[in-house]
Amino acid sequence: MTRIAFAGVGTMGRHLVRHLLEAGHELRVYDPSADAMAYAASLGADASATSVADICRDAEVCLVSLPSPALVRSVAHEAAAALPQGALLADVSTSPPALAEELARDLEPTGIVVADCPLSGGPLGAEAGTLTSMIGGSDAAFATLEPIAQTWSAYVVHTGGHGTGQAAKLCNNMLAGTHMAALCLSLALGRKAGLSDEMLFDILSRSTGDSRVLRARYPGLGVDDAHPSNRDYSALFTLDLMTKDMELAVEFARGMGADPTLLESVTTIYHEAQAEGLGGLDYSGLIRLARLAEEA
């Protein structure tokens, strides 16, 4: 059993909290949302804290799950100031690799062990405990974090040094975001050519255009009740969050000296969707740009 502090009980975090409690860990949580705290308490977590510092004072591990790099940076520093020497601080959000390196550089000299551990698989994977966990940091950090990550994962991998977990996650999400943009264009063109959404799905899922993005959240209607498109694009992973990840991917590509033109073009499409008020939808709601264009 490990004493774990958990900051950020959002869409992903609430499932991680459940898995940690079911594995027998001692868990204290903090989230500014009263509803999130009430949910964590209903699962059996200690939700009495009024700050991040409150949950960190005698924790062995602190997990941070937050929607923006700025929040991660702020909360990580607040947590590190309260954690005991030798405790592990792990960012399970999607953040820039440079932020992971920065936190390690700033906090490890103070006696805090730092790791980045972004997750892939979305809320459904988090709920089922089938996520992929990509851990960047020292061998010692991986040894501490691996059994914790196993509670919610089907695959846990030590990617290397600080920031490599985040690099792996961005390599994944740039593909997912780009494929969704291409998939929405494909569907819009198919409709104009007279192909039904169902027919195109059957063709693509049996052909070289197949992908996990296609099978999990095809933006067409009537194909699969589990797809957000058949639930008014109720978000599994919001378009706003995918836009943030695409922006991070552009920065990552530039920082690595790669040509970011493709990623910039795709990110522009997501920005256009945000400008049309689609940011709170699932990112498969990008298809609504095509509808808006038809209506214009």
Burial (Cβ within 10 Å: 0-12, 13-18, ≥19) of residue 261: exposed
CA–CA distance, 259 with 245 (Å, rounded to integer):
17
Give the residue numbers marked as catalytic.
Answer: 169
CA atoms within 13 A on the CB side of 88: 25
Q: Which two tokens stand for residue 78?
A: 């607040």
Helix (H, G, I), strand (E, B) or coil at 220: coil
User: DSSP letter at 64?
Assistant: E
d(CA 26, CA 50): 18
Q: What distance lies between CA 194 and its chain's CA centroid?
A: 36
